[in-house]
Structure 1
Amino acid sequence: MSIPTFVFSILLPHLLFVSQQCHLVLASEYHGGRWKLLQTSIGISAMHMQLLWNDRVVVFDRTDFGNSNLSLPNGRCRNDPTEAALKRDCSAHSVEYDVPSNKFRALMVQTDVWCSSGAITPDGNLVQAGGFNDGERRVRVFSPCRSRACDWQEIPNGLTARRWYATSHILPDGRQIIVGGRKQFNYEFIPKSIAAANTFNLPFLLETNDFGAENNLYPFVFLNVDGNLFIFANNRAILLDYVKYKVVKTYPTIPGGDPRSYPSTGSAVLLPLKNLKRAAAIQAEVLICGGAPKGSFFQASRGNFITALNTCARMVITDPNPQWVMETMPLARVMGDMILLPNGDVLLINGAGSGSAGWEMGRNPVLSPVLYRPDNKIGSRFKTQKPTIIPRMYHSSAVLLRDGRVLVGGSNPHAFYNFTTAFFPTELSLEAFSPAYLNANFDSLRPRIVDPKSMSGFTYRKRITIQVVITAEVSENSVSVTMVAPAFNTHSFSMNQRLIVLSDDKVKALGNSAYSIEVTSPRSRNLAPAGFYLLFVVHQDIPSQGIWVKLQ
Structure 2
Amino acid sequence: MKTPNPRAHFLNLLPLLVCMFGAIAQLGSWELLQENAGISAMHMALLSNGKVVMFDRTDFGKSNLSLPAGRCRSDPNELALTLDCTAHSAEYDPVANSVRPLFVQTDVWCSSGAIAPDGRLIQTGGFNDGDHVVRVFQPCDNCDWEEFPSGLAARRWYATNQILPDGRIIVIGGRRQYNYEFYPKSEMTAATFLFRFLAETKDANENNLYPFVHLSTDGNLFVFANNRSVLLDYGGNRIVKVFPTMPGGDPRNYPSSGSSTLLPLRISPELSAIPVEVLVCGGAPTGSYDQAREGQFVQALDTCGRIRITDPSPQWQIETMPVARVMGDMVLLPTGDVLIINGASAGTAGWEFGRNPVLSPVLYNPVAPSSARFRTLASTQVPRVYHSTAILLPDGRILVGGSNPHVYYNFSGVLFPTELRLESFSPPYLSPQFSRLRPNIIFPASNPATIRFGQQFQVRFSVESMVGAEGITVTMVAPSFTTHSFSMNQRLLVLQNTMLTVLSPNVYQANTVAPQSPLLAPPGYYLIFVVHQGVPSSAIWSRISA
Question: Where on the TM-score scale, by shorter chain, does this alignment land: which range?
Answer: over 0.9
Does residue 418 (structure 1) correspond to residue 413 (structure 2)? The answer is no
Does residue 271 (structure 1) correspond to residue 263 (structure 2)? The answer is yes
Look up the match of 1:207: 200
What's the offset of the Cα at 1:28?
A: 5.9
Q: 1:28 to 1:310 in 2, by over 3 A?
A: farther
Contact 2:23–2:433 (Cα < 8 Å) also in 1: no
Contact 1:187–1:201 (Cα < 8 Å) also in 2: yes
Pick from 430, 437, 441 the counterpart of residue 422 of structure 2: 430
What's the offset of the Cα at 1:456?
A: 3.4
Pick from 315, 329, 332 the counterpart of residue 321 of structure 2: 329
Pick from 102, 105, 114 the counterpart of residue 110 of structure 1: 105
Superposed, 1:288-307 pairs within 5 Å as: 288-307=280-299
**Distance in structure 2 (CA, Å) of the matches to 1:30 and 1:322:** 36
Deviations 1:402-448 (A, max 9, x none): 00000000000000000013310000010000001001110111111
Pick from 100, 121, 124 the counterpart of residue 119 of structure 2: 124
Deviations 1:456-501 (A, max 9, x none): 3200111111111112134141100000001000000000000000
Look up the match of 2:48: 53
- Aligned partner letter, 1:503: Q
**Distance in structure 2 (CA, Å) of the matches to 1:422 and 1:158:** 38
**Distance in structure 2 (CA, Å) of the matches to 1:142 and 1:192:** 18
Does residue 463 (structure 1) correspond to residue 456 (structure 2)? The answer is yes
SS of aligned partner of 1:29? helix
**Distance in structure 1 (CA, Å) of the matches to 2:158 and 2:351:** 15
SS of aligned partner of 1:74? helix
**Distance in structure 2 (CA, Å) of the matches to 1:176 and 1:141:** 13
SS of aligned partner of 1:278? coil
Q: 1:234 to 1:325 in 2, by over 3 A?
A: same
**Distance in structure 2 (CA, Å) of the matches to 1:538 and 1:503:** 13
Look up the match of 1:74: 69
Contact 1:479–1:505 (Cα < 8 Å) also in 2: no
Look up the match of 2:57: 62
- Aligned partner letter, 1:130: G
- Kindly report the root-mean-square deviation, in angstroms, between the aligned alpha carbons of the 2 structures: 1.0
Contact 1:360–1:414 (Cα < 8 Å) also in 2: yes
Superposed, 1:353-364 pairs within 5 Å as: 353-364=345-356
**Distance in structure 2 (CA, Å) of the matches to 1:305 and 1:257:** 19
Look up the match of 1:253: 245
Look up the match of 1:319: 311
Superposed, 1:31-430 pairs within 5 Å as: 31-145=26-140, 147=141, 149-212=142-205, 214-430=206-422
Pick from 487, 511, 515 the counterpart of residue 480 of structure 2: 487
Contact 2:474–2:497 (Cα < 8 Å) also in 1: no
SS of aligned partner of 2:24? coil
**Distance in structure 1 (CA, Å) of the matches to 2:66 and 2:504:** 55
Deviations 1:96-139 (A, max 9, x none): 00111000110000100000000000000000000000000000
Deviations 1:25-48 (A, max 9, x none): x96615110000000011110000
SS of aligned partner of 1:379? helix
What is the TM-score when the length of structure 2 is the normalising length? 0.95
**Distance in structure 2 (CA, Å) of the matches to 1:103 and 1:479:** 34
SS of aligned partner of 1:509? strand
**Distance in structure 2 (CA, Å) of the matches to 1:427 and 1:505:** 47
- Aligned partner letter, 2:520: L
Q: Which runs of 4+ in 1 moved over 6 A?
A: none
Contact 2:175–2:207 (Cα < 8 Å) also in 1: no
SS of aligned partner of 1:477? helix
Contact 1:534–1:547 (Cα < 8 Å) also in 2: yes
**Distance in structure 2 (CA, Å) of the matches to 1:89 and 1:270:** 40
**Distance in structure 2 (CA, Å) of the matches to 1:479 and 1:30:** 23
When the two structures are aligned, how many residues end up with a matched partner? 524
Look up the match of 2:493: 500
Unpaired runs of 5+ in structure 1?
1-25
What is the TM-score when the length of structure 1 is the normalising length? 0.94
What's the offset of the Cα at 1:275?
A: 1.6
Contact 2:351–2:405 (Cα < 8 Å) also in 1: yes
**Distance in structure 2 (CA, Å) of the matches to 1:532 and 1:490:** 20
- Aligned partner letter, 2:515: P
